[in-house]
Amino acid sequence: MSTTRQPSPGDLGPEPGTDQVSVPDGTDRTLTLDSASGVVPLARDFTRQALYDWGWLPASTPDTRAAAEDVLLVVSELVTNACLHADGPERLRVSTAAKVLRLEVTDRGEGQPAPRTPHQAGRPGGHGMFIVQRLCLDWGVQRLPDTQGKTVWAELAAPA
């Protein structure tokens, strides 16, 4: 896990109070989740639509289908983690560039997500960040400047 990478411009998403969905160049989308109900399916549907728009879906090959399913699973895990451990997510950002898809979930939580160690496959619960770690190229946490909260980000390889 990398937690020291400096944020790129726009990594923290839009300013609070801006439009719910932002698509400046077609490769960057932000969904405001603060106070929304059913945030996990909402986040999955939002991400699925981005994958359709970017040509990952409908999947033309098994590899593309698997890559899209991995993205949707990671979105579910990150948003669920924010719901369970950080009073819910504020926003989801999905972006793609240079054969990498980046997911960012911003919340007000102070905790530090980490895979449960040792990982016990047969034990219920506690698998979210282990799944993220296994499916992603990299992931980490960026603290929000001058406010309570953080952005948990994950990067996955785009299908070939």
pLDDT for 26: 61
pLDDT above 70 (res 23): no
Of 152, 155, 156, 109, nearest to 12 by C-alpha is 152
Q: Give the chain's domain count.
A: 1
pLDDT band at 99 (very low <50, low <70, confident <90, very high): confident
% of the chain with per-residue pLDDT over 90: 57
* 88 domain residue, yes or no: yes
* 143 domain residue, yes or no: yes
* 123 domain residue, yes or no: yes
pLDDT band at 144 (very low <50, low <70, confident <90, very high): confident
* 60 domain residue, yes or no: yes
For residue 109, the domain's CATH number is 3.30.565.10
Query: ω before 145 within 30° of 0 (cis)?
Result: no
% of the chain with per-residue pLDDT over 70: 79
* 12 domain residue, yes or no: no
Q: Tell me which of 3 and 38 has the higher pLDDT.
A: 38
pLDDT above 80 (res 4): no
pLDDT above 90 (res 113): no
